Amino acid sequence: MQKLVLASNNTGKVREFQALLAPLNFQVIPQGELGIPSAEEPHHTFIENALAKARHASAASGLPALADDSGICAHVLNGQPGVLSARFAGEPANDAANNQKLIQELKGQINRGAHYVCALVFVNSADDPEPMIVQTRWYGTLIDDPKGTNGFGYDPYFFLPELGLTAAELKPEKKNAISHRGQALRELIIQLQTRSSRA
C-alpha cells in the first residue's frame, strides 16, 4: 500500500477519507499520528488553505500528502461561515457552538440556501510544482432543528430537499457517494489515474 499523509486531525474527515481511498490501495495516515502539528490557515480561499496544509504535511513527513479545506457557505450571509466554518463560534473549535451561531445568524431569513465546499489538494512532495487541485460543491438548505446522528460539523442542519433527509441522516456510504468530499475525491482519483497512466 502507498502511504499518504492526510493533513487533518478531524476524526470525521479521517474516517471518510480512509473509507474512500482504501479501494485504491492508499494507507491514509492522519498527520497527528506522525506528530505533525496543524498548519496555519491564514488564507481567504479554500484552495489556498488546502495547498498550505498539504505542503506543510508533506514537508514534515517526507511523504505524499492530501489536504482538504472545506466548509459551508450560507447564500444569504454572503458565503459565511466559509473558510471559518470549523471555528465560526471561536476557539476552541466546537460543532455545537458553530451550529448554534449559524442558525442564530439565519433567524428570520427566508433564503436558507447553502452549499458545502470541498477544496482537495494532493502533492507528491512539499515543493511539488504541479499539485492536483479539485474544488466541488454540494447544495442544500439549512434548517432550524437538527436531524440525524451521522456525519459531523453542520450535517444535522444541512437538508437535502431531493432526498428529504439531512446529511446527518444519510448512511456513511450514501454520504460518501454524493457529498462535496466524495465528489472531490472521485475527481482527484481520475486525475491520479490519468497522470500515472501517462508517466
Q: What is the pLDDT of residues 140-158, one digit of tens each?
A: 999 999 999 998 999 999 9
Query: Does residue 100 contact residue 88 with C-beta atoms inside 8 Å?
Result: no
Q: List, in order, residues 6 or more apart from 5 with CB less than 8 Å away.
A: 29, 30, 31, 34, 36, 57, 58, 61, 63, 64, 65, 66
Query: Does residue 117 contact residue 153 with C-beta atoms inside 8 Å?
Result: no
Query: Does residue 125 contact residue 64 with C-beta atoms inside 8 Å?
Result: yes
Report the catalytic residues: 69
**Per-residue pLDDT at 58:** 97
Residue 164, CA distances (Å) to 96, 117, 160 in order: 23, 21, 6
Residue type, 45: T
Which residues, listed in sequence order, are joined to residue 4 by a DSSP beta bridge?
28
CA angle 5, 115, 48 (to 5 degrees): 40
- For the chain, domains (ranges, CATH) are 2-198 (3.90.950.10)
Q: What is the pLDDT of residues 3-41, one digit of tens each?
A: 999 998 878 788 888 887 887 788 889 999 999 999 988
- pLDDT of the chain, 199 residues: tens digit per residue: 889 999 988 787 888 888 878 877 888 899 999 999 999 889 999 999 999 999 999 999 999 999 999 999 999 999 999 999 999 999 888 999 999 999 999 999 999 999 999 999 999 999 999 999 999 999 999 999 999 999 899 999 999 999 999 999 999 889 989 999 999 999 998 888 787 767 6
**Per-residue pLDDT at 64:** 94
Among 92, 119, 74, 117, which Cα is nearest to 38's?
Answer: 92
- pTM assigned to the model: 0.90
**Per-residue pLDDT at 199:** 61
Residue 121, CA distances (Å) to 6, 31, 73, 105, 145 in order: 10, 15, 20, 31, 33
Among 156, 194, 184, which Cα is nearest to 50's?
Answer: 184
Question: What CA–CA distance (Å, rounded) separates 153 from 138?
Answer: 14
